[in-house]
Structure 1
């Protein structure tokens, strides 16, 4: 399993939730899912210059399937319609093989 730890600067929680609802069936069709999901109010240390107020894990059966998901036309259409209107920046904190 391949998992990423992601930080976002969400500027509009309502539109971001519409994005999550719209992309979830696409994510699940690729065997993907969310693990943890946090709203954070204070970042004490960061290696990024971007603000982070949301942190989550997203996982896929493999890194290749993750790449296929993020480049799929269905996902990119949802991203353009909702994600780009609700998120100011994305920080990939880590990507790793997760052994269960």
Structure 2
């Protein structure tokens, strides 16, 4: 399994929630899902000077599935419609093959 630890600064929780609902069926097609998802109230040390108020892990069957998901035209349309309007910064904190 290939997994990423992601930090976001969500600026509109309602639109971000709509993004997650719209993208989930596409994510599942690529063997993906979310393992952990936290809304955080304070960031003690921001990464790359980016504020973070949401941290989650997203997984795929492998790295190729992840790349195919993020380049999928349906996903890109959902991202453009919801994600871009609801998130000010996104930081990949780590990516790894989970054993």
Into which bin does the TM-score normalised by the smaller protein fall? over 0.9
Q: Which runs of no fewer than 5 residues in structure 2 stay unpaired?
A: none
Aligned-pair CA distance for 1:35: 0.4
Partner residue in 1 for 2:42: 42
Distance 1:47 1:85 in 2: 21
Q: Which stretches of structure 1, 4 residues or longer, exceed 6 Å deviation after superposition?
A: none
TM superposition score normalised by structure 2: 0.98
Number of residue equivalences: 99
Partner residue in 1 for 2:66: 66
2:47–2:91 contact (8 Å) kept in structure 1: no
Aligned-pair CA distance for 1:46: 3.0
Partner residue in 2 for 1:24: 24
Q: Which runs of no fewer than 5 residues in structure 1 stay unpaired?
A: none
Aligned-pair CA distance for 1:47: 3.0
Aligned-pair CA distance for 1:81: 0.3
Distance 1:47 1:26 in 2: 29
Distance 1:47 1:38 in 2: 17
- Residues 17-75 of structure 1, C-alpha deviation per residue, up to 9 Å, x if partnerless? 00000000000011000000000011112332110000000000001110000000010
TM superposition score normalised by structure 1: 0.97
Distance 1:36 1:47 in 2: 19
Give RMSD over aligned pairs: 0.6
